Chains A and B, each alone.
Chain A
Amino acid sequence: MDEDINRRLAWSDTELVVAMRAGDADALATLYDRYSSLVFRLALKILTNSEEAADLTQDVFLNLWQSLAYQPDRGSLSSFLTTLTRSRAIDRLRSRSSKQRFLQRWSQLMPTQSASNPFEAASLEQRAESVRAALTQLPDKQRQVLELAYYQGLSQSEIAAHLEAPLGTVKSWSRQGLLNLRNQLQTLLE
């Protein structure tokens, strides 16, 4: 079993997806090892609850196995996973009672290590460093507005109210922020 996983470490995301859709469970396991941290960190950020984030992580990879929703010609697997995770996390967030939300904000979070291959971890973390570096290059307001929109699911009007800034200004910050971020990440995305 371990040999089979090792062979697949060198495969591209698309090769693994094709294999997975032919019923290859090891291919899914390899994709899990490659991207579970990305899915989990995003789920945890939005849900602020370790158990729910773990639950959602499993949900997302099960969806990858069961559904043809991901199509390689429409974008990277990485962006599909984060988009799906974000969407489901925000859905779950919205269906919570406000009392629960209050309690969860103060719950202790204990991140744990999983036994993923260090090679894959390095490659995810290399991307992470680039994205972190790119974000620090953004003007504060642009970064702030992007993060509020992405992680909190706030609309532009809600953000405008939250920051006490005009809607037009908020739109300008977020659009410029996205464009600047894209420019910073140009080499990474190619």
Chain B
Amino acid sequence: MADFIPPEPLQDLLAGYVLGDLTPEETNILEQQLQQQPELRAELQQLQETLAAMPYALPAVHPPVDVRDRLLQTITTVAPAATALGEPLVTGTEVRSMASAPSRRRDRQRWPMIMGSMAALVALALGVDNWRLRQDLVMAQAEVNRQIAPLRQDLAAAKAQLASQKDLIAMLQQPATQLVTLKGMDGMAPAKGNVVMTPGDRAVIVALQNLPPLQPGQYYYLWANEAGQKVACGKFTAAETGEVFVKLILPNTSNSKQLAITVENSPTMTAPQGPMVMVSES
């Protein structure tokens, strides 16, 4: 291993660094020493390895067999973190410089690099008393958050979809639930779908396909024919794919199975004015 043994006070600082208990003054001293004697890094790594080896001493227990099965099952659906065969694994210096240089690129390689430097930082110390580590961590976290924001939006949309699907399943499980089938009018012939309603329940689920997305400011309205009067049940828009999957709450419970969908230009319609695009069968 190393040919020299660092003097005791320095060893003490190295140990403190790994344990995360250095004062700011101690941190300064150690960082200066690390710059002057880069060979100290090997010593540091050895102490990190020592601390991380403590769990070996715990009683030998094994996880249940199904953990292995589930893991191997899960990875068939999850892509591995990719480095091409023959490419050198990223060195420590590369990871550090990428962490401190903000970049606009959001490709897949960027994300793991940040996580790598964060993991390395976390691995260096036990506690959060080390102020220097906190600074690095804050910077790394800011970068991670920038990358997370668009993913969070996707997740929110997916969760809303899932909530509607669960509502649909619950409704379909009730015996009194009815399905009203809707068909597209001339010019909207490919449009089709159903409205799911339960007598006595103000919630209805609208599930449609092949409805074209609208211009901003335009809405699809669902109307129910109640004794000759058209009552607004709610409004919605179509996704890029032409699909609609929404839950609407009716102002009152309705028994009407005569439904229609129009296109309107205002968010506060009380009577249909725009063209009718879909209508319930018979």
* A and B: bona fide binding partners: yes
Decide yes or no: A125 and B92 within 8 Å by CB, A114-B68, A178-B51, A181-B50 being known contacts: no
When the two chains form their complex, are residues B123 and A21 in contact, meaning their CB atoms are under 8 A apart? Answer: no
Q: How far is the CA of A170 from the CA of B64 in the complex (A)?
A: 38
- B46, B59, B65, B85: the one contacting A115 at CB < 8 Å is B65
| B52:A54 contact, CB within 8 angstroms | no
Task: Determine, out of B14-22, B146-154, B183-191, the stretch whose residues face the partner at the interface.
Answer: B14-22
A41 touches B58 (CB 8 A): yes
Report the minimum CB–CB distance from A145 to chain B (whole Å).
9
Contact segment of B70-78, B131-139, B155-163, B167-175: B70-78
**B12 on interface, CB distance cutoff 8 Å:** yes
Main secondary structure of the interface of B (DSSP, over half): helix
List of A residues within 8 angstroms of B56 by Cβ: 38, 124, 127-128, 130-132
Cβ of B7 within 8 Å of any chain A Cβ, yes or no, is no
1/0 per residue B228-247: CB within 8 Å of A? 00000000000000000000
Select A146's contact among B54, B62, B76, beta carbons within 8 Å: B54
Interface positions of A from 4 to 34, Cβ below 8 Å from B: 18, 20-23, 25, 28-29, 32-33
Hey, what's the 0/1 contact readout for A107-125 against B, CB within 8 Å counting as 1?
0000111111000000011
Q: Nearest-CB distance from A159 to chain B (Å)? A: 10
Q: Return the 6 tightest CB-CB contacts between A and B, nearest first.
A: A79-B52, A68-B112, A111-B61, A42-B55, A175-B15, A131-B56
Interface presence of A103 (CB below 8 A) = no
Closest Cβ neighbor of A20 among chain B residues: B80
Known: A67-B116, A71-B91, A128-B56. 14 other contacts (CB 8 A): A22-B80, A37-B63, A41-B61, A58-B70, A68-B83, A70-B116, A71-B89, A112-B63, A127-B53, A131-B56, A132-B57, A150-B54, A155-B21, A182-B50
Show 8 A/B contacts (Cβ-Cβ < 8 Å), sorted by A.
Answer: A41-B61, A44-B58, A53-B63, A73-B92, A78-B53, A80-B119, A146-B54, A171-B21
A93: Cβ under 8 A from any B Cβ: no
Q: Once the chains are docked, how many angstroms separate the CA of A182 from the CA of B46?
A: 8
Most buried by A among B18, B52, B82: B52
Which one of B54, B70, B79 has the greatest number of beta carbons of chain A within 10 Å? B54
Minimum Cβ distance to chain B for residue A67 (Å): 5
Q: How many angstroms from the CA of A161 to the CA of B89 in the assembled complex?
A: 44
Give the size category of B's interface with A: 35 or more
Residues of the B chain whose Cβ atoms lie less than 8 Å from the Cβ of A45:
55, 58
Q: Is B227 an interface residue (CB 8 A)?
A: no
Identify A112's interface contact among B55, B65, B78, CB under 8 A.
B65
Q: Which residues of chain B have C-beta atoms less than 8 A from A48's C-beta?
A: none
Question: Known: A68-B112, A68-B115, A179-B15. Is A25-B75 also a contact (CB below 8 A)?
Answer: yes
Measured between alpha carbons, how far is A178 from B19 in the docked complex, in Å? 8
Asked if B48 and A69 sit within 8 Å, CB to CB, the answer is no
- Per the bound structure, the CA–CA distance linking A128 and B45 in Å amounts to 20
CA distance A171 to B129 in the complex (A): 13
State the interface size on chain A (CB cutoff 8 A): 80
Asked if residues B18 and A18 are in contact (CB atoms below 8 Å), the reply is no
Expressed in whole angstroms, the minimum distance between the Cβ of A101 and any Cβ of chain B is 20
Residues of B within 8 A of A62 (CB): 71, 74-75, 78
Q: Are A23 and B123 CB-contacts (below 8 A) given A41-B55, A79-B49, A135-B57? A: no
Contacts of A28 in B (CB 8 A): 71-72, 75
Q: Is the CB of B71 within 8 A of A58?
A: yes
Please state if B80 and A185 are interface contacts (CB–CB under 8 Å): no
Instruction: Please state if B16 and A175 are interface contacts (CB–CB under 8 Å).
Output: yes
A169 within 8 A of B: no
- CA separation between A77 and B52, bound complex, in Å? 10
Q: Provide the bound-state CA to CA distance between A79 and B70, in Å.
A: 24
Complex CA gap A190/B53 in Å reads 13
* Bound-state Cα–Cα, A189 to B53, Å: 9
- A67 interface neighbour in B11, B62, B115, Cβ under 8 Å: B115
Contacts of A87 in B (CB 8 A): 122
> Quick one: which of B61, B75, B113 contacts A44, CB cutoff 8 A?
B61
B120 near A: Cβ within 8 Å?
Answer: yes
Chain A 40-77 per-residue mask, 1 if CB under 8 angstroms from chain B, else 0: 11101100000001100110011001111111111110
